[in-house]
Amino acid sequence: MVFQDSNQSNTQILTRIRLLHLDKITLIMYKLLIQSISSLLKSKYSKGNRLHLRSVLGALKQAAPLFLSDPSDIELQQISFRNIKPEDQIPRILDEFIDDFERSLAVNSSAKNYSLFSITSLKIIKTLDEGNKRGLVAMHVINRLEKMFLKYPFKHGKQATWDPLGTVFAVIEMILESEKNLGIAYKFDKTILDQFAQFMQRYYLKFDDSIGKILDDITEMPKSRLTVILDQNYRVILEKIFQHGITALPQEVKIKKVKELLEKIINQKEDSEVLKLYNVLKLAYADKDIRFEIASFARSINKTEKRFTNTILDEISHP
């Protein structure tokens, strides 16, 4: 028993040393990337691209908290941009940043770090001119995130809001960038939907107008000076992520929540408030597993004096 405890302790120590070493290497590579971009800006190879490169450098410097340790001074070969076309410089820089971040996940895969990484990547994507390349780079970052999520699921506390929401916000923005610039509708990978499911469920169970609350929180959250418009296209993507989350809830929880929403719709006097609740209700009602039981419940409710409310009851009553 003594030998077993000793072996476990040694294994833990070796693991800790390995992670510290990896963290140190990751920071060195990050600092090397910063130095390489600074050198590029001073060279003739950045001609015509300096404004965008300065924006990228500023975004990367704000991501410094992702790489915490303090490495000893080590001279490493900087990235050479001599044979890289100006239009390929920023995608190459972004790839290097993604590689650095992925190495850091073995040490810390928190929602806070995922959020900072996602928003920084989004800022870099937005420095690219609109068009095919911008859409492809956005899709590339999403694909890399999917692979990271599989290996290092992002962790957030039960009460955390800004950090997981930052990742949701950035991913939706990247999806919209890919759709707009490639002209192709994004097909969700289940990996991303599963990562956000628990977070979406928390909003659904806590707030009646849960979609509205998420959009309000995204509006209020720090976005690293990014200016965005939360339009109908944004809402459509958010609703797909949200709907996957609530569909994954236990059957009895789903039925209970939908009944609560229906009862609040009946008792609500303002049509504008009824509409907010209905927008959430119809996403939940799309779940075939609960539709017939909810329809039966709706048929048992007496008609009200409100035409809009009665229309909703009629719709829900006939699956």
Q: Say if residue 224 is in the same domain as residue 290.
A: no
Among 222, 249, 276, residue at a domain's last position: 249
- Dig out the tokens for 126 from the structure: 């937005």
Q: How confident is the model over 247-283, as pLDDT tens digits?
A: 999 999 999 999 999 999 999 989 999 999 999 999 9
Inter-residue contact 122 to 166 (CB < 8 Å) = no
Q: Say if residue 280 is in the same domain as residue 301.
A: yes
Q: Say if residue 207 is in the same domain as residue 306.
A: no
pLDDT band at residue 33 under the 50/70/90 scheme:
confident
pTM here? 0.81
**Residue 15 confidence (pLDDT) above 90:** no
With b for 16 or more beta-carbon neighbours within 10 A and e for fewer, the 62-77 pattern comes to ebeebbeeeeeeeeee
- For residue 79, being part of any structural domain is answered with no
| Residue appearing with tokens 């009895």 | 252
> Which one is predicted more confidently, 82 or 206?
206
**Residue 3 confidence (pLDDT) above 80:** no
- For residue 110, being part of any structural domain is answered with yes
- For residue 148, being part of any structural domain is answered with yes
- For residue 50, being part of any structural domain is answered with yes
Question: How many domains does the structure of the chain reveal?
Answer: 2
Among 249, 284, 306, residue at a domain's last position: 249
Q: Say if residue 29 is in the same domain as residue 145.
A: yes
Return the pLDDT at 71: 45
Q: Say if residue 306 is in the same domain as residue 225.
A: no
Q: How far apart are CA 145 and CA 56, in angstroms?
A: 19
**Residue 74 confidence (pLDDT) above 70:** no
Q: What is the mean pLDDT of the chain?
A: 85
The domain of 159 spans 2-71+85-249
Q: How confident is the model over 192-219, as pLDDT tens digits?
A: 999 999 999 999 999 999 999 999 999 9
Return the pLDDT at 25: 57
Q: Say if residue 233 is in the same domain as residue 283.
A: no
Q: How far apart are CA 78 and CA 34, in angstroms?
A: 9
Q: Say if residue 147 is in the same domain as residue 39.
A: yes
Inter-residue contact 242 to 211 (CB < 8 Å) = yes
Among 218, 249, 280, residue at a domain's last position: 249
